[in-house]
A and B are shown apart, each in its own frame.
Chain A
Amino acid sequence: AQSVSQHNHHVILSEAASLELGCNYSYGGTVNLFWYVQYPGQHLQLLLKYFSGDPLVKGIKGFEAEFIKSKFSFNLRKPSVQWSDTAEYFCAVGWNSGNTPLVFGKGTRLSVIA
């Protein structure tokens, strides 16, 4: 079955630290890749997405992600986090086969401390 794994359940960082959140998906084929962010008490919002082309994609608020096809990975990065980045981050994958909806990872909770 198609699945998405996020390696870290909870990450705690100090402000200005660098961030990398891991995301791997279960098997190949053509995929669309997404990172969503959920701020406390809010709904999911799109952070960035990859459909094709340059495997390094840039999103909002200084986030970027790199698609490495050989590793089935789509890791999220930010060079310097801020307190306002405290949120839960979800990786999602859409396989280009049929009508299967996006499959989400379990999420990584990021806490940024001053």
Chain B
Amino acid sequence: NAGVTQTPKFRILKIGQSMTLQCTQDMNHNYMYWYRQDPGMGLKLIYYSVGAGITDKGEVPNGYNVSRSTTEDFPLRLELAAPSQTSVYFCASSQGQGNTEAFFGQGTRLTVV
């Protein structure tokens, strides 16, 4: 029962580098989300998707891009890494509309130096 799988678990990037955080789910959920978690700030929504081919911005989309070519995968792209993007990133998915239970991945801890 894999659920939501994120890779990598940890990554250190230099300023200006790019990378893709991978997220895949095997529950056939329509909705997928990317959140970032910073100490004392809770979870902030970066992007979300209501189905393959459809994405929308969340609260903090600047500096990130997403795509949703399949139901299973929802990668998050950082094009020009900045120290402000140091954070823990969580991918999540849910079956129904956005107001239903979200299932989370294990997270990716990213440090930009």
Whether B104 and A45, one on each chain, are in contact in the complex, defined by CB atoms closer than 8 angstroms, is yes
Closest partner residue, chain A, to B99 (CB atom): A94
Whether B106 and A42, one on each chain, are in contact in the complex, defined by CB atoms closer than 8 angstroms, is yes
Closest partner residue, chain A, to B44 (CB atom): A104
Encoded as 1 (CB less than 8 Å from any B CB) or 0, chain A from 85 to 104 comes to 00000101011101111101
Return chain A residues, CB-CB under 8 Å to B43: 44, 90, 104, 107
Query: How many residues does chain B have at the interface if contact means C-beta atoms less than 8 Å apart?
Result: 24
Count contacts between A and B, CB distance < 8 Å: 60
Closest partner residue, chain A, to B109 (CB atom): A41
Q: In the complex, which of the residues B42, B50, B58, B105 contacts A99, with contact meaning CB atoms closer than 8 Å?
A: B50
Query: How many residues does chain A have at the interface if contact means C-beta atoms less than 8 Å apart?
Result: 26
The docked-state distance in angstroms from the alpha carbon of A51 to that of B66 is 30
A87 to B: closest C-beta gap in Å: 14
Decide if A31 is an interface residue (CB 8 Å cutoff): yes
Return chain B residues, CB-CB under 8 Å to A44: 43, 90, 92, 102, 104
Interface positions of A (Cβ within 8 A of B): 6, 9, 31-32, 34, 36, 42-46, 49, 90, 92, 94-96, 98-102, 104-107
Interface positions of B (Cβ within 8 A of A): 31, 33, 35, 40-43, 45, 48, 50, 58, 90, 92, 94, 97-102, 104-107
Q: List 11 A-B contacts (CB under 8 A).
A: A32-B99, A36-B104, A44-B104, A95-B99, A99-B50, A101-B31, A101-B33, A102-B102, A104-B35, A105-B42, A107-B42
